[in-house]
Amino acid sequence: MSDKEILRIAIDGPSGAGKSTIAKIVAERMGIDYIDTGAMYRAIGLKMVNEGVSREDTEEAASERQKVLDRTEIDFDNGVITLDGEDVGGKIRTPEISIAASDYSRFPEVRSKLVAIQREIGHRKSVVMDGRDIGTNVFTDAQYKFFLTATPEERASRRVKELQEKGEDVSYEATLEDIRKRDYNDTHRKLNPLAKADDAIEIDTTDMTIEEVASAILDKIDQN
Ligand code: DC
């Protein structure tokens, strides 16, 4: 397949805006692959936490992280996130790993490793890719770019509901605080912060159902 025929759809936005649920539906209806880049940052976060790697912004800490990254394999295939060959899907959605993913994702050595993997996948096949910097950095040439938002309160309620459905007991206040902290981290980091690409279509999902958001995106793609 030539590069021209490959379709890249970028879906960016803050934590809990519904990106992955929506991206999965859009990919499925279009018959192409869905790539969850947040899961990749979470898998790196998990490895760094397991190995007790520093989150400091010093040269020494950067070289410690680089050494760990050099012996780390991350892949996202068929909806499954693997870390060094192990399916870690069940381990990366905890509050601890959410913060770790956000913390470690600000370092250039972490981003360059994952961005290279993401670009390689998107040059090989058509994808719907969700994240923070897909439209602004990973695929600036994506044919379609969407930026999903919702109020922090709505995103916190959604997260609480999702975790409660999995049997986890979480407080709304703590979740809202976690969302605000991650919003701050993600929008204030120096390297490729969370931002809407100039040519992205913004959708405020606060009062929309999942189906309405998916339809809005699919309609835009159909119109072109
Ligand atoms: O989408 P998520 O909540 O699973 O992402 C977890 C963290 O990973 C998020 O707080 C920031 C980081 N991330 C990133 O920096 N760039 C991406 N493209 C995706 C996620």
For residue 74, the domain's CATH number is 3.40.50.300
pLDDT per residue of the chain (224 residues) written in tens, 0 to 9: 454 589 999 999 998 899 999 999 999 999 999 999 999 999 999 999 999 999 999 999 999 999 999 999 999 999 999 999 999 999 998 889 988 999 999 999 999 999 999 999 999 999 999 999 999 999 999 999 999 999 999 999 998 998 899 898 889 999 999 899 989 988 999 999 999 999 999 999 999 999 999 999 999 998 87
Atom of ligand 1 nearest to the CA of 98: 6
153, containing H or E segment? helix 152-165
Q: What share of the chain is helix, strand, coil (3-state, %, to 5)?
A: 55, 15, 30
The response to whether residue 41 sits with its C-beta less than 6 Å from ligand 1 reads yes
| Beta carbons of 147 and 199 less than 8 angstroms apart | no
Ligand 1, atom 18: nearest CA belongs to which residue? 131
Ligand 1, atom 12: nearest CA belongs to which residue? 102
Tell me the CA distances in angstroms from 104 to 140, 159, 182, one per residue in order: 23, 21, 12
Q: Which residues make beta-bridge pairs with 204? A: 149
The response to whether residue 132 sits with its C-beta less than 6 Å from ligand 1 reads yes
Query: Going by DSSP bridges, is the β-strand pair 86-87/80-83 parallel, antiparallel, or unpaired?
Result: antiparallel
**Domain assignment of residue 36, yes or no:** yes
Domain extent at residue 70: 7-222
Question: Could you tell me the pTM of the whole model?
Answer: 0.93
**Domain assignment of residue 84, yes or no:** yes
